[in-house]
Amino acid sequence: MDFTLGLFLAVLLSGLIWLVDIVFLRRRRDKETRESLIVEYARSFFPVLLVVFLIRSFLFEPFQIPSGSMIPTLRVGDFVLVNKFQWGLRLPLIHTPLTRGSPVEAGDIMVFRYPKNPRIDYIKRVIGLPGDTIEVKGNDLYINGKLVPQKFIGNFNYRPEGQGAEGMVIPTKEYAQELGGHHFHIIEFDTPEAQMDFGPYKVPPHSYFMMGDDRDNSNDSRFWGVVPERNIVGKAMFVWFSWDAEDWSIRWKQIGRSLDGQH
């Protein structure tokens, strides 16, 4: 079940139990009779659940990185904080806009509901805004007919997730790119088989073209299309915790990493 829905139902149930006790049951109890355990739990948990629900729905929401599609920026096991109010307030569950926030910009890392299955959250980088024309030729990215420059940083030791430190290393190169004032790094496989051509494709109104920073190993808009504006959840701001499940260790250098602005 969707976590937000479960949290909403918990708030509703605990609040309802507490309200029924206040309106109907409390006046019938004598002073020496204790309230039931269910009422006691509802009274204790309702304020906490309500605060958590409001914060997650309108302000900030934690998100765990489930795949390596955003390597080298984000790793599997990173926990990021998503700013929801900057994008604009939405009613929880039904996602109806209440306010207009800051517009999505090229280069932003956004969490969104996967268009093919809105119950699943994805995280990618915004590459194309409404009206932009996107084209990929091999490892070259073009936006509106202009090549997005990339600076070679060095070789990157890429190992597929789940193979640990002894896994096979795939020849990969790391590059620096800039979009919309965001400076970030991407990786690309150094093999012709991994490269692909895409487009040209014009981004329709109220939609965004998303790509992963692991350009040749990302299930993104090149394969399933653009993200409608209504599917946007919020903007990833920074990494607040990072756990390497393969080594059972904390990635201290990753914690506190800003995802808003310069690399």
pTM of the model: 0.86
Q: How far apart (Å, rounded) are the C-alpha atoms in residues 39 and 49? A: 15
Same domain for 233 and 195 = yes
Same domain, 109 and 238: yes
CATH number for the domain that contains residue 146: 2.10.109.10
Which among 170, 124, 125 is positioned nearest to 148, based on CA atoms? 125
C-beta separation of 238 from 60 below 8 A: no
Count of residues for the chain?
263
Residuewise pLDDT in 10s, the chain (263 residues): 578 889 999 999 999 999 998 888 877 777 767 788 999 999 999 999 999 999 998 999 999 998 889 999 999 999 999 999 888 888 888 888 888 888 899 999 999 999 999 989 999 999 999 999 999 998 899 999 999 999 999 998 877 665 555 567 777 899 999 998 899 999 998 776 667 889 899 999 999 999 999 998 899 999 999 999 999 999 999 999 999 888 889 999 999 999 976 44
Q: How far apart are CA 55 and CA 84, in angstroms?
A: 9
Residue 160's domain comprises 60-250
Q: Is 148 in the same domain as 236?
A: yes
Q: Which residues belong to the active site? A: 69, 124
Structure tokens at 204: 């329709």
Residues 26 and 134 both lie in one domain: no
Total domains in the chain come to: 2
